[in-house]
Structure 1
Amino acid sequence: MTSRREQAADLQGWMTEQRRLLHQHPEVGLDLPDTHAHIDDVLRTCGLAPERHEQSGLTVALTGTDPDGSTRVLRADMDALPITERSGVDFASTRPGAMHACGHDLHMAMLLGAARAFADQPPRRDVVLAFQPGEESDRGALKVLEHDNLELGDDASAFAIHVHATQPAHTVHFTRDVFMAYGDWFQVDFSGPGGHAATPEDAGNPVEAAARFVLGAQALAADLAGEEHVVATVTELQIGNAVNVISASGRLRGTIRSLSAGQRSRLITGLEEAAAEAASASRVEAAFAFTEGYPAVRNDPDYVDRMVARFGEVLGADALTPMPRPSMVIEDFAYFLQKWSGAMVYLGAQVPGHHSFNHSDDVVYDESVLATGATMLLEAGDGF
């Protein structure tokens, strides 16, 4: 019988073709008609019968040769980012304003490779392959979890890979608990009388308030990070439209990242207080709004121990690296791991000489990791 690693290696060229085709035709969000259609076509060509729901992905149930009563769920995300690509690769996005900058094209290609391998040599345990749209900001995981194929018992497990553009290719990075952070969003609206730019003493100034708030948010995060790493980042600022007018209003938005519910709560409270203080000092009013984002991705320690033991045998112990601390990235695979035990890992995919991280408009990935990722998915499907 062909080993899973050999199967994956034999499919490297085919997975590369799949990845490049998907990379050239990215779609953003939940509505991914072309991507859904392509995945559906490939799976049916493999002799599989996917459950497909527009805007909520595709799943395929596979019966194991030696089932143990539980199911292994393997997941890949499908959506791209609203970015215009400038990576310079000869298979760049053909759609301005959309790019697979986070590597989801690689994730899909790996899982398609696993599907083709399982179609040829069935998994040892029962498996569901899940292709999910809307990971980036639409909580697509919640929609795909409604599939009939994912009406599973509590004893199921879930596994996913995320490529990492700045870690050495073929290295696997993991944690035994929190893998990725809680992620939430905030918005602050400043409003005041405004006025003439020549008489700032007579006006409230939302620009001053925003500047004070940004500094306050940075100070708050630095203070809380002494206990446990946190992030508070202002990413958007909209104030004013004339050089000689102090605007009467302004808005800023940003994100927070935290590793525990306690730090998350302290961040939210502290930012609201920082907004009020900045407004008072700048003679304006502040309205603070918080939007709950994604929960933390929390790996199961027992599952990780079994995973590390098996991947060490297959990939070599040197390929496995415990992470010194969780990633501050967020991922809605968290919802899978709230439902079942399992894990998500990073798979290094750095191209030598390139240092842009995921989500950059010039990011590139080493495609040779497709076989490594498919091997990991196949092993997870067979069961640790």
Structure 2
Amino acid sequence: MKVQEAVRSHNKELIALRRDFHAHPELGFQEFGTSKKITEYLKGLGLDPQTVTKTGVTALLKGKTDNGPVLLMRADMDALPVEEQTGLPFTSEEKGLMHACGHDAHMAMMLTAAKILVSMKDSFDGTIKFVFQPNEEIAGAQSMIDDGILENPKVDAAMGVHIWSPLPSGTLGVKSGAVTSSMDVFKVVIKGRGGHTGYPDSAVDPVVCASAVVQQVQSIQTRFISPMKPIALMFGRISGGTKNNIIPDSVELEGTIRYLFATKPGNSDNPTDKFKKMVTDICNSYGCTCEFYFDHENDAVINDPTMTALAYDVAKDIVGEANVAEHASMACEDFAAFGEHVPAVFTFIGTASEQAKSTYPHHNPRFTIDEETLPIGVEFLVESALRFFKGKK
């Protein structure tokens, strides 16, 4: 049976799996029910799944022989603290929780791909390590790596996919190099000296200083780092003061710095270092001081050229070359951690359809997917795995 025919024969089960996961979302490292369902499904395929990293699941599928390479295939499991507003018949049954990012689809596609690959295990030499990863939203991949997911057996390459509403249904996004951003989360506390708004000269106003910071740091993106390197420096929260006629002692600024390239602290092109210096200089000029709190959440996903070429060839055969886009995103994705250790590729599966009402952005309470795109994802996963092993002979 051809891969496409095999995928079609499992279409009803594929959709049922996705809807079941969607109706029962769980937050990162709390995916106990999800983990149990995945484990039971994999056992039903004759595999021996193991629980790893609290709620994660992994299982090995050995081909005709296990003398070949080891390919890690990853699907993420966690949901978001979002109150669903889709009105779907299989809407979330957990108040305040929702699969608003497509991880329900990822798990369903991976399980279906596993089922098909089990039936085709005599057609390849090597081992597939299926990995169902918890807590993707807060860097769960690194936790799995710390727990040894890339060892026993040692992984040679990795592959991941993401259902993607910025791309139309029927398209696949494949690109070499950086495809998702690095992200640093920041909090800046600007400290002045409080006073009366009728006597501003007797105070040191952190509000006007904070306003200058918000405006002036935007120049980092083109004046201090090449405009050829995409950066999004965004403020999401400003807080300060208790009353309209009181100059506060301090103002807090919070936001994110995203950049679509690889860099490290201390490098000449590190935007967070530039941000810290500029904010400090601005505060000094206004007579204020500042304190910084940074959290580096994810590095950029950097697609390996060889793995990308494989993914591109598979993609064009499935959807046609005209429907393969060189797509990158300023969203961040912790799959980057796998790519820092082994050659890896991360592919976007377009799911935007007006008819399916699936054009809302990820993390939106109305986010949903075009279920017609699920078989495309399964076919892509299966064909990519088979061609990976074929290319290693």
Please tell me the residue identity of whatever aligns with 2:249.
A
Aligned residue number for residue 195 of structure 1: 195
Aligned residue number for residue 380 of structure 1: 384
Question: CA distance change for structure 1 residues 208 and 90 in 2, over 3 Å: closer, same or farther?
Answer: farther
Please tell me whether the aligned partners of residues 171 and 319 of structure 2 are also in contact (alpha carbons under 8 angstroms): no
Aligned residue number for residue 391 of structure 2: none
Structure 1 residue 113: Cα displacement: 0.8
- Cα distance in 2 for partners of 1:87, 1:198 equals 50
Aligned residue number for residue 359 of structure 1: 363
- Cα distance in 2 for partners of 1:199, 1:43 equals 71
Aligned residue number for residue 28 of structure 1: 27
Aligned residue number for residue 348 of structure 1: 350
- Secondary structure (helix, strand or coil) at the match of 1:383 reads helix
- Cα distance in 2 for partners of 1:144, 1:266 equals 27
Aligned residue number for residue 87 of structure 1: 86
Please tell me whether the aligned partners of residues 60 and 149 of structure 1 are also in contact (alpha carbons under 8 angstroms): no
Structure 1 residue 305: Cα displacement: 1.4
Aligned residue number for residue 293 of structure 2: 289
- Cα distance in 2 for partners of 1:377, 1:128 equals 13
- Cα distance in 2 for partners of 1:331, 1:69 equals 29
After the TM superposition, which residues 328-339 of structure 1 pair with which residues of structure 2 at under 5 Å, given as runs? 328-339=330-341
Please tell me whether the aligned partners of residues 76 and 160 of structure 1 are also in contact (alpha carbons under 8 angstroms): yes
After the TM superposition, which residues 248-287 of structure 1 pair with which residues of structure 2 at under 5 Å, given as runs? 248-258=249-259, 259-261=261-263, 265-287=269-291
After the TM superposition, which residues 127-146 of structure 1 pair with which residues of structure 2 at under 5 Å, given as runs? 127-137=128-138, 139-146=139-146
Structure 1 residue 68: Cα displacement: 5.2
Aligned residue number for residue 184 of structure 2: 184
Structure 1 residues 63-88: Cα deviation after superposition (integer angstroms, max 9, x where no partner): 11255520111100111122222223
Structure 1 residue 167: Cα displacement: 0.9
Please tell me whether the aligned partners of residues 175 and 303 of structure 2 are also in contact (alpha carbons under 8 angstroms): yes
Percent identity between matched residues is 28
- Cα distance in 2 for partners of 1:210, 1:362 equals 34
- Secondary structure (helix, strand or coil) at the match of 1:98 reads coil
Question: CA distance change for structure 1 residues 25 and 269 in 2, over 3 Å: closer, same or farther?
Answer: same
More displaced, 209-218 or 69-78? 209-218
- Cα distance in 1 for partners of 2:59, 2:38 equals 11
RMSD of aligned residue pairs (Cα, Å): 2.3
- TM normalised by structure 1 equals 0.91
- Cα distance in 2 for partners of 1:149, 1:219 equals 41
After the TM superposition, which residues 53-202 of structure 1 pair with which residues of structure 2 at under 5 Å, given as runs? 53=52, 55-65=54-64, 67=66, 69-122=68-121, 124=124, 125-137=126-138, 139-146=139-146, 150-151=150-151, 156-202=156-202
Please tell me whether the aligned partners of residues 36 and 54 of structure 1 are also in contact (alpha carbons under 8 angstroms): no
Aligned residue number for residue 45 of structure 2: 46
Structure 1 residues 313-346: Cα deviation after superposition (integer angstroms, max 9, x where no partner): 34432332223xx322211111111121120011
Structure 1 residue 23: Cα displacement: 1.2
Aligned residue pair count: 380
Structure 1 residues 176-223: Cα deviation after superposition (integer angstroms, max 9, x where no partner): 122222221222111222122333332223322222211122222243
Please tell me the residue identity of whatever aligns with 1:307.
A
More displaced, 22-31 or 339-348? 22-31
Structure 1 residues 128-180: Cα deviation after superposition (integer angstroms, max 9, x where no partner): 1100011111x211222356664157771111101111211121111112222
Aligned residue number for residue 368 of structure 1: 372
Structure 1 residue 284: Cα displacement: 2.5
- Secondary structure (helix, strand or coil) at the match of 2:17 reads helix
- Cα distance in 1 for partners of 2:208, 2:26 equals 39
Aligned residue number for residue 207 of structure 1: 207
More displaced, 100-109 or 187-196? 187-196
- Cα distance in 1 for partners of 2:174, 2:113 equals 21
Aligned residue number for residue 15 of structure 2: 16
Unmatched 5+ residue regions in structure 1? none
- Cα distance in 1 for partners of 2:207, 2:335 equals 38
Unmatched 5+ residue regions in structure 2? 389-393
Question: CA distance change for structure 1 residues 154 and 177 in 2, over 3 Å: closer, same or farther?
Answer: farther
Please tell me whether the aligned partners of residues 296 and 334 of structure 1 are also in contact (alpha carbons under 8 angstroms): yes
Please tell me whether the aligned partners of residues 12 and 368 of structure 1 are also in contact (alpha carbons under 8 angstroms): no
Question: CA distance change for structure 1 residues 189 and 198 in 2, over 3 Å: closer, same or farther?
Answer: same
- Secondary structure (helix, strand or coil) at the match of 1:233 reads strand
Please tell me whether the aligned partners of residues 27 and 98 of structure 1 are also in contact (alpha carbons under 8 angstroms): yes
More displaced, 342-351 or 61-70? 61-70
Please tell me whether the aligned partners of residues 45 and 118 of structure 2 are also in contact (alpha carbons under 8 angstroms): yes
Please tell me the residue identity of whatever aligns with 2:116.
A
Aligned residue number for residue 318 of structure 1: 322
- Secondary structure (helix, strand or coil) at the match of 2:71 reads strand
